[in-house]
Amino acid sequence: MLINKNVFFFLILFSVFNYGQSRKSEIGIITDNDLYTSSKNDMYYTNGLAIFYRHLIKNSKLDISKKSVEFTIGQYIYTPRFIDSPEKEIMDRPYAGYLFGEIGENIFYKNESVFKANFQIGYVGPNSYGREMQKSFHSLVGYKAVQGWGYQIQNALAVQTHFFYSKKLFPRSESKKIDFHFQSEANLGTIFTGASTGFLTRIGLKKLVPLFDSNLHGGAMGSNESEFYFYIAPSINYLLYDATIKGSLFNSNSTVTFDLVPFRFNGEAGFKYRKKNLNLFYVFVYRGKELNSRTISGYFYGSIGVSYLLK
Q: What residue ranges define each of the domains in the chain, with the CATH number in brackets? A: 7-310 (2.40.128.140)
pLDDT tens, residue by residue, 66-83: 999 999 999 999 999 888
The percentage of residues in the chain with a pLDDT greater than 90, rounded to a whole number, is 77
User: Does residue 15 surpass a pLDDT of 80?
Assistant: no
Mean pLDDT for the stretch of residues 7-16: 48
Cβ partners under 8 Å of residue 276, min gap 6 = 224, 226, 309
C-alpha closest to that of 133 among 292, 1, 288: 1
pLDDT of res. 21: 47
pLDDT of res. 20: 41
List of long-range contacts for 8-16, beta carbons under 8 Å, 24+ apart: 10/51, 10/306, 13/51, 14/308, 14/310
Rg of the Cα atoms in the chain = 20
Mean pLDDT for the stretch of residues 197-216: 97
pLDDT of res. 183: 98
pLDDT of res. 14: 46
pLDDT of res. 236: 98
pLDDT of res. 6: 54
Residue 152 and residue 255 in contact, taking contact as beta carbons nearer than 8 Å: no
Which of 5 and 298 is assigned the larger pLDDT?
Answer: 298
Mean pLDDT for the stretch of residues 17-39: 80
pLDDT averaged over every residue in the chain: 91
